[in-house]
Amino acid sequence: MRVLILAPIGRDARLLAGTLASLNMETAIAPDAKALLAMLPEGIGCAIVAEEALTPEAIQALAAWVEAQPPWSDAPFIILTSSGRPTRESHHRAVGLQALGNFTLIERPARPDTIQSSVRTALRARMRQYEIRSRQEALIRANADLEQFAHSASHDLKEPLRSIGIYSELLSRDYTGKLDRSGSEYLAFIQSAAKRMNALLSDLLSYSQVSSDAEETAEHVSARGPLEDALENLGCAIGESEAQITVGEMPAVRMHASHLAQLFQNLMSNAIKYRKEEVRLLIRLSARKAEGYWIFSIADNGIGIPPAHRETIFGIFKRLHANGKYPGTGMGLAICQRIVERYGGRIWVESEPGRGSEFFFTIPA
């Protein structure tokens, strides 16, 4: 990490370089603001700048560089001010300097140990920032590896599964009557397990396919269209359950229509699946705006969710019921959560067991 120095008075620059050399710090001297700007992209530990070098144009150019830095970066500037009373000009400059974000003022003549301790503190802070950057990069790599793994695993496992499905189908067709009761029963178990595994893998594949660039490539869509697609896909289930569905005003949001349709579909199909036998199923969909987000709500009067499970149900393959009563893979809500988080929103549920659940998800407005 280099310490960049911009001090038009050669005496200052030499004094600073000498003070820092005794600390074994690499320094580079910039003759003017333009040269300093050119040095910044090569990597900066911190920059020490004499205030007389900071013309309004130089401050503007530095601020533009700071603004363009990635979120982990907060490059430290140490500004050497002149001694004496504050003037209008010095006040003006101090206000302009705010745009640099991370800056410290040191009054001249500064003692060498004042400069050394300020530089040491600045470099420590900068070191932390670089550490955060490498951790972030490692996390992004690990995430991409995991996504690739989930995708390949779910994709490649389908192939042998298809063979299991085909051959057990052939067995049951060509060996009817040749297998005894236990044999036929075992075969039926194999077939239903293969079907279930196929459903699990399909859902895992959809989960891994919710791409990480969803937000950047999204366009404005009216939520009405995706909602109607979801209602159409669930037509049979809605008809069978005789659900009564009410829909409030739906806004336009910046999302891929297929993602929004999947959210509505997964949440409504759960409302249908986890309904109560004894009452008419009511599903209420609405949206309202608050604090820069659209908050969508899907409320039902179904069996509800015990408080202890209101967070765990969003996990991969997490289910609260055995397969017999309510079929499913435990991936529906995990997919919803992944979609919503890709757009910078969140999803949660409020529920009263035995009385119903209300799922909420937010999308930036």
CB 302, CB 284: distance < 8 Å: no
Among 97, 313, 339, 347, binds ligand ADP (CB under 6 A): 313
Q: Which is nearer to ligand ADP, 227 or 331 (CB)?
A: 331
Length of the chain as a residue count: 365
CB nearer to ligand ADP: give 74 or 358.
358
Interface with ligand ADP, residue 76, by CB under 6 A = no
Query: Cα–Cα distance between 74 and 122 in angstroms, integer?
Result: 10
- Of 129, 150, 330, 365, the one binding ligand ADP by CB under 6 A: 330
Determine the interface stretch with ligand ADP among 7-15, 178-186, 214-222, 303-311 (rule: CB under 6 A): 303-311
Sheet with 293-300, strands from edge to edge, namely 244-247, 282-290, 293-300, 356-364, 347-352
Nearer to ligand ADP (CB atom), residue 5 or residue 261 = 261
Residue 200 engages ligand ADP in binding (rule: CB under 6 A) = no
Q: Which phi-psi region, left, alpha or beta, contains residue 349 (left: φ > 0; alpha: ψ -120 to 50)?
A: beta
**What is the number of other CB atoms lying within 10 angstroms of the CB of residue 38?**
11
Q: According to CB under 6 A, which one of 270, 343, 362, 363 is a site residue for ligand ADP?
A: 270
Q: Within 13 Å of residue 137, how many CA atoms lie on the same side as its CB?
A: 8
Nearer to ligand ADP, 16 or 230 (CB): 230
Q: How far is the CB of 200 from ligand ADP (least distance, A)?
A: 10
Do residues 234 and 268 lie in contact, with contact meaning Cβ atoms separated by under 8 Å?
Answer: yes
Which string of x and - marks every residue 273-302 that binds ligand ADP (by CB under 6 A)?
xx-------------------------x-x
Binding residue (CB under 6 A) for ligand ADP from 328, 341, 346, 360: 328
Least CB distance from residue 331 to ligand ADP, whole Å? 6
Place of tokens 């269209």: 225
Question: Hunting for tokens 């705006």 — which residue is that?
Answer: 289
Backbone angles phi, psi at 274, to 5 degrees: -100, 40
Note whether 226 binds ligand ADP by CB under 6 A: no
CB of 43 or CB of 306, closer to ligand ADP: 306
**Pick from 29, 100, 263, 271: which binds ligand ADP (CB under 6 A)?**
271
Q: Quick check: helix, strand or coil at residue 355?
A: coil
Q: Where are the alpha helices (DSSP H) in the chain?
A: 10-21, 33-39, 56-67, 88-97, 112-174, 181-209, 224-233, 235-241, 257-273, 332-342
Asked if residue 337 binds ligand ADP (CB under 6 A), the reply is no
Q: Does 264 bind ligand ADP (CB under 6 A)?
A: no
Q: Count Cα neighbours of 141 within 13 Å in the Cβ-side half-sphere.
A: 6
Give me the half-sphere count of Cα atoms (radius 13 Å) on the Cβ side of residue 150. Answer: 17
- 329 contacts ligand ADP (rule: CB under 6 A): yes
Residues forming the site for ligand ADP (CB under 6 A): 266, 270-271, 273-274, 300, 302-305, 313, 318-321, 328-334, 357
